[in-house]
Each structure stands twice: as structure tokens, then as C-alpha cells.
Chain A
């Protein structure tokens, strides 16, 4: 069955993200149950699943917010992510976008990006740090990518919901991560914004590995990538959207509802 696809895919020698047998439980509730899957370098992957399937918990485990009870999580085959904290993981090159857009609301759009710049992030460096010209240029470049150049001096708190989502994606790009984890990027967006976001993600996927968690089927279809279906904390099916959509189990637990 579809499980076989997953087994074939396990080739740790060339993975950017490698999860094996990860379990997490909260007060007896198993949020993740022997979850295993692999993301190849440069790949874009969509993760879908009903509420409570463990999508957000999976992101928490990868980014160091939650420690798994058991299982292995490796980044680029070499780094054990279960031992590191959020900041270390972020600096390794894993960026995360939250479900609810979180930006620094009392800072300008420009400052939001500047703070996300990839650089030494120790407190004493920041105390005496000054922006260099090429860094400024990089910020301007991203401002243009996320279409917020005109609003660079706005306080981020004054942006619309969709603009905040883009700003957050822009902040991830500033970190120049190898792997981006994007949680429901189009939730609450207008149709036009959704289309633009899909374009943006495809653009990003050209130079980064991206894992997108999403509910919106049309959006997932427009991403045109491999899909992993999560259910009750483990992988139910994996493959192209067409393959998983025709899987009877998937239809039963998710699409059929």
C-alpha cells in the first residue's frame, strides 16, 4: 500500500529532514504516534490531515519547542534536533512560520526584516551592531519579493492579515534557511492573496526545501508537490495529491467528511 512509498523514500544519506518513530504524548493523549517521514533537499512537501492529526506538534518537535518522548529527528543527516533549543535550530537553517501570523507589531516592516537577518545573534553583538550596506540591500530585495517595499516604514501591527503573512515569510527568507516550515500560510486570506502566496512559495521552493501544512485543498493542488497525509499522529499516506486523494483510507478519515 501507500506505506511502501514511505519505506522506499527512507534514504537518510540524502535527506534534509529525517523523522523516525517520533512519539509525543500529552497527559495520555498521543499527539504523535511513531511518526516517520523524510524530506529531500530542495523538495517542497505539503502535509495535510484533519484537526488533531499532529501537524502542529510535528512542527513543534522539529523546531525544538517540544521534546519527543521517543524517536529520532535529524537535520541534513547530521544534526540531532531533539537536543537543541529553538534558537539553535533556527540558526542551523530551519525557519518556521506560525499558523497565526506573528510579526513584531511595534516595529516597522523594515525593522522586522532587519531583526531576522542572518548574522551573529548574541546579545553583545546586537548591542554594538550596525547595519552594513549590503545587508540593507538584502532587506530591500526581500521587501520587494514580499511586495511590502512601499510599506517599509509602517508599523507591522498596522498591516493587513495577508500582509502580515507575507512579512512573516519575508522574515523567514531573511534568515536564509535551508528548510522552511510553513503552517497554514493562506488561512484567512482573500482569493487573490492566496494565489499570490502560492506564487511566492513556489518561488521560494526553487532555492529552499519547504514543508507546508495546509487545510485548503485547492491551495495544495496549486503547489503541485508531494503530499503526506497525517492521521492520529502517524503517516496515513504519501504521494501525489491524486494518489492520496484516491486512497480509500484517506477519503474515509479526511476528504470524505
Chain B
């Protein structure tokens, strides 16, 4: 996990070059897959074997959003040991923010043709737009809110929780209660978010028709970029001293405290960053699936994310990504092929991964450790060089 001892390079220069072997491989695979899919969708003709149909592009885009969500959970659980059962809520909040923008883009093309109010408000006999819906006609404002809303909730929640030293399962349980409370709240019609039905019937995003193949491909590319940036940010965080302190907190919280670190600030910082990543994932997810409704807040969703990370390998960034994609691919496949069996399999995955695969796929198969070990060996040489230089 450790970086080189002494670096003269600035922090940002080492962002890409400093990626560990696994990270570089990950970026390569992600990029190659993205190019393959874009080419497969746009250039290769439909009757060719390598053609990638648009529905598949959207499906993969959805997986990438899940992967970013998994990354955010891994950042706090895998590295800092905080098990949040409320990340589905941050994801859904990001989604709702995007949904509000998309609702405002419908304009007077809704069923009721009201230029100002979304259909569900007209249906509820509302006369004017609630104040919290203002500003969402602007994409820039929406972009800001996508990060701000989940980030702010995480900040307030984390501020109270971490300062009072709510830890371990207690934290997990209250995050679950938080998402449950939000679930109940968003089901209410008078919250002004479409109640039970949520937000849907979107038409276009920044002027592009959401149903056109081009827009869908664009959203996929957007998801690739978001995941890549999210990965770089997470990688930067975990490679930094900050990241090593997170691991220190995970392994020996009171030692970290007695070493002089304000553990609550570290937890708060990483919790907020992680919530923002989850929010971004949600905001990209919504235009690709075309709907956001309160069921996204259901506690079961949040806990499922945790199992993606556990399966892939917590504490390794690309384990989280791998887990999210694998489990969701399995879900898509089995809910189609053997719908009865899927819940057994999902339940079994929870049990299996905790009992038999505590380190996940990435942590269990030693190939991935070799790169790290080689890197460690090289670093020992670096150290002796530095020593000689000093002497």
C-alpha cells in the first residue's frame, strides 16, 4: 500500500504515474473497453458479430455507474472501516437532483402542457414551483447540486455521528435508519418529488434527445470518464498520507487518536468525498435508466452495494469496480434466465463472501499481489540510494 518514501514530484504529477500496477492495468482496460464499445456501436455494422447494440451500451453505462458507487463505498469501508448502509441514499439523491433537471427540461411537452410545472405537480393541483425546484433548469447549477446535496447531507450526518464517536455497527444501523427515513419521506406526495412514481418521462439532456442512440452513447462515455476520474481521485486519496491514515484508523482507531490525528475529521472528510462520488454515480445513472423513484432509497439497495465491494475485494479500488460489474452482470443474466434463483444466489453471495472470500476476488488470487511485492522490492533499493545520498 505504501508509496515511495521521498518524492520530489508534486502531488498531481504523480497522479497518473504514481498509480500502482493494478491501477494502470485498470485504466488501460477501462479505456480499451470504452473504445471497443464506441467503435462497436458506431462504426461496425449491425449484422457484424462485433456490433454493440445501443441497449447494451446503456446497460454497460449503468454498470459503470454502479462501479462508481461501489468505489465510493470501498473508499470508506475498505480503507477506513466505516460500513455505511446509506450510500444508496447518496446515490439516489444525486439521481433525484439530475431528475429535477431533466423534469425541468421537459417544459411544456408534458401531458398537461404546463410550461412551468412538472406533470405530477399539475396533477396535485400545485399552483407554483416550490422554492427548492428553482435553478434546476440550469445544467451548471444542477451539476453543482449533484455534488453539494449528497455532500452536505453526508457532512451534517457525519459531523454529528463521528464527533460523538458512533462507530462500527452502530454507525451502520443509523445510516440504514437514515436511508429508511428518506425512503419514507420521498414516498410522500407533498415532498414535491413525485411521490411513489418519482421522476420520469424525461425528454432531453442539454438539448440532446435522451432516446437517441447518440445521446445514449454520450452518456456511456460520460460514465466512463466519471469512473476514470473517480478512480484517479480515489487512487490519489488512498496513495496519499491521508489514505494511509484512513487505514490506520481502520486497524487501530485509538492508536491513531493517541498519535495526534483528529480521527473524526478524517472520517468526515472521506465520508463526504465518498458521498459526492455516490451522488455523481446516481446522477449519471438516472438519464440512462430514464426514471428515479423512492425505491432507490430502500435499505436493501444500499446493503447490496456493500456485497459488490466484498465480492470484488475491499480495500482494493479495482476490486470494487470488478465486483460491481460482475455481480450486476450476474443479476441481469439470472433475473432473466432463472428469476427464482437470483435471490438465493444473492443471499448466498453475502454468506459466501464473508465466510470464504473475506478479501474478495482481487485479494484472494495472488497474481495481483505479485505486482505489489515487486514494487515493494524495488522501493527497498530506492531507500538505500536515498540513504547513501544523505550520507
Which of B5, B252, B265 contacts A105 (CB under 8 A)?
B252
- Residue A121 at the B interface, CB < 8 A? yes
**In the complex, chain B residues whose CB is within 8 Å of the CB of A153:** 376, 379-380, 383
- Residue A133 at the B interface, CB < 8 A? yes
- Residue B211 at the A interface, CB < 8 A? no
- Residue A194 at the B interface, CB < 8 A? no
A90 & B259 in contact (Cβ 8 Å cutoff): yes
The smallest C-beta distance from B216 to any residue of chain A, in angstroms, reads: 36
CA distance A132 to B390 in the complex (A): 12
B262 & A87 in contact (Cβ 8 Å cutoff): yes
CA distance A110 to B387 in the complex (A): 14
A107/B248 contact (C-beta < 8 A), A90-B257, A114-B241, A116-B259 known = yes
The SS class assigned to the B binding surface is helix
A175/B7 contact (C-beta < 8 A), A122-B265, A127-B237, A152-B383 known = no
Number of interface residues of B (CB under 8 A): 37
Task: List which B337-358 residues lie within 8 A (CB) of chain A.
Answer: none
- Residue A108 at the B interface, CB < 8 A? yes
A126 & B242 in contact (Cβ 8 Å cutoff): yes
The smallest C-beta distance from B314 to any residue of chain A, in angstroms, reads: 12
B2 & A171 in contact (Cβ 8 Å cutoff): no
A136/B386 contact (C-beta < 8 A), A87-B262, A111-B2, A126-B241 known = yes
**In the complex, chain B residues whose CB is within 8 Å of the CB of A128:** 11, 240
A108-129 vs B, CB cutoff 8 Å, 1 = contact: the mask equals 1011001110100111101111
CA distance A81 to B135 in the complex (A): 49
**In the complex, chain A residues whose CB is within 8 Å of the CB of B245:** 115, 123, 126
Task: Give the interface of B toward A (CB within 8 A).
Answer: 1-2, 5-7, 11, 237, 240-242, 244-245, 247-248, 250-252, 254-263, 265-266, 269, 376, 379-380, 383, 386-387, 390
With A104-B255, A114-B241, A127-B237 already in contact, 6 other A-B pairs whose C-beta atoms are closer than 8 Å: A86-B257, A90-B260, A98-B258, A106-B250, A121-B260, A131-B5
Task: Give the interface of A toward B (CB within 8 A).
Answer: 63, 65, 85-87, 90-91, 95-96, 98, 102-108, 110-111, 114-116, 118, 121-124, 126-133, 136-137, 140, 152-153, 171, 175
